[in-house]
């Protein structure tokens, strides 16, 4: 399995998720709320705007995204962060 980067910030992750149709809907305190709609189903995700995002938090976000996008988590990591 590809390695999850340990130095990514919340704002950088939000930028990377743009290619999956996620848009920033609001920023409250130190959190960014993203929304995407694929196949008529809306998906909301909240990302902490920390530098870096804790690895456990990032892992949970990636699991949620992979389930929603219906792709393998390792493929998602490759697409987002390169090989």
**Residue 56 resides in a domain:** yes
**Residue 51 resides in a domain:** yes
Q: What is the widest separation between alpha-carbon atoms in the chain? A: 34
Neighbours of 58 (CB within 10 A): 19
Question: In this predicted model, what pLDDT tens digit does every residue of 37-49 receive, in sequence order?
Answer: 987 889 999 999 9
CATH of the domain at 67: 3.30.920
Neighbours of 83 (CB within 10 A): 6
**Residue 2 resides in a domain:** no
pLDDT of residue 9: 96
**Residue 69 resides in a domain:** yes
**Helix axis angle, 73-81 relative to 55-69, nearest 10°?**
110
Per-residue pLDDT of the chain (83 residues; tens, 9 = 90+): 678 899 999 999 999 999 999 999 999 899 999 999 987 889 999 999 999 999 999 999 999 999 999 999 999 999 999 86
Domain span holding position 53: 10-81
**Residue 18 resides in a domain:** yes
Number of folded domains that form the chain: 1
**Residue 5 resides in a domain:** no
pLDDT of residue 83: 62
**Residue 23 resides in a domain:** yes
Q: pTM for the full model?
A: 0.88
């Amino acid at each position: 399995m590809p390695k999850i980067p340990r130095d990514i910030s919340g704002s950088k992750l939000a930028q990377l998720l743009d290619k999956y149709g996620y848009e920033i809907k609001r920023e409250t305190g130190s959190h960014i709320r993203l929304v995407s709609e694929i196949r008529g189903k809306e998906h909301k995700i909240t990302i902490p705007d920390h530098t870096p995002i804790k690895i456990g938090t990032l892992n949970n976000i990636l699991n949620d995204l992979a389930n929603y996008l219906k792709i393998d988590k390792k493929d998602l990591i490759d697409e987002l962060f390169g090989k």
